[in-house]
């Protein structure tokens, strides 16, 4: 069951004040908003993304508000080595990580003609990065008896993405991995949340991550309201406080998921109509 900011207010769970947090994909969009919001709550924040320069700007701004509270770490999170380095760097700087948010993602790719390297990149960033991070985090969390793993899977991970096969498939896999984590380790102190937003005003929505497939991003505009990253970050903080597994900033996504589960043929027919509406085929 999903919970939004109104329903989780005043519920006490994990508080971020004094915690050590890591956010990937933090150079902009949802990731930057999450890092800023966690910092506002009193957490120390390690920001990770591909390029150092934009991360440095954000970290400098956060450190100006609270000295020695933010660190920028650039790397290719589509590799196991970069994830291992990120975690070890964060721990050397601040100590054991309390919360890791695997938010980095790519939205490139279209149909069955998509190049194999695009498929491989989608799996590495959208799925394997979560697995690699967990590989290096979970043993320490089990030893400590606590830890929090969050990931961004998108509404496409609950439903499907019209147009982009790599995005839809990998986001389903990301949600499945988050479910596996909480099933496997939830009774051993490891908490898990999975963020599944629909339309959010980011570069990915605008086609910046996939200029050739810009029409695909129009699907979310057809489907519902487009939120600002800061709005999503607030819902995330509330749901982390409540330790809610499924984070749905768009309430309609829960309705769509219920329809998909209870009336699957009707839902599939509706998705085919949406496909025709957006692409004409």
**Active-site residue numbers?**
167
Q: Rounded to the nearest 5°, which phi and psi values hold at 87?
A: -65, -45
Residue 216 token pair: 């695909």
Burial class (CB in 10 A: 0-12, 13-18, 19+), 40: middle
Please say whether the dihedral angle defined by the alpha carbons of residues 250, 122, 76 and 207, taken in this order, is positive or negative: negative
Q: Of 30, 25, 6, which is closest to residue 198 (Cα–Cα)?
A: 30
Q: Which residue has the tokens 């051993």?
A: 188
Distances (CA, A) of 135 to 122, 123, 138: 19, 16, 6
């Amino acid at each position: 069951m999903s919970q939004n900011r109104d329903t989780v207010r005043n519920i006490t769970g994990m508080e971020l004040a004094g915690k050590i947090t890591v956010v990937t994909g933090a150079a902009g969009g949802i990731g930057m908003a999450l890092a800023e919001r966690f910092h506002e709550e009193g957490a120390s924040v390690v920001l990770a993304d591909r390029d150092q320069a934009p991360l440095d700007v954000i970290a400098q701004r956060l450190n100006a508000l609270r000295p020695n509270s933010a660190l920028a770490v650039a790397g290719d999170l589509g590799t196991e080595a970069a994830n291992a380095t990120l975690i070890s760097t964060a721990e050397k700087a601040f100590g054991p990580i309390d919360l890791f948010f695997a938010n980095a993602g790519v939205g490139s790719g279209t149909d069955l003609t998509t190049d194999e390297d695009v498929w491989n990149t989608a799996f590495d960033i959208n799925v394997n990065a979560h697995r690699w991070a967990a590989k290096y985090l979970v043993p320490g969390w089990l030893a400590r008896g606590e830890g929090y793993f969050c990931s961004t899977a998108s509404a496409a991970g609950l439903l499907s993405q019209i147009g982009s096969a790599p995005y839809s498939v990998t986001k389903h896999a990301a949600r499945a991995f988050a479910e596996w984590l909480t099933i496997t380790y939830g009774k051993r102190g490891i908490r898990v949340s999975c963020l599944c937003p629909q339309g959010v005003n980011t570069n990915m929505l605008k086609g910046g991550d996939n200029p050739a497939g810009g029409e695909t991003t129009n699907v979310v505009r057809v489907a519902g309201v487009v939120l600002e990253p800061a709005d999503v970050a607030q819902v995330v903080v509330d749901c982390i406080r409540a330790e809610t597994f499924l984070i749905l900033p768009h309430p309609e996504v829960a309705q769509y998921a219920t329809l998909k589960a209870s009336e699957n043929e009707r839902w599939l027919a509706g998705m085919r109509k949406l496909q025709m509406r957006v692409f004409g085929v």
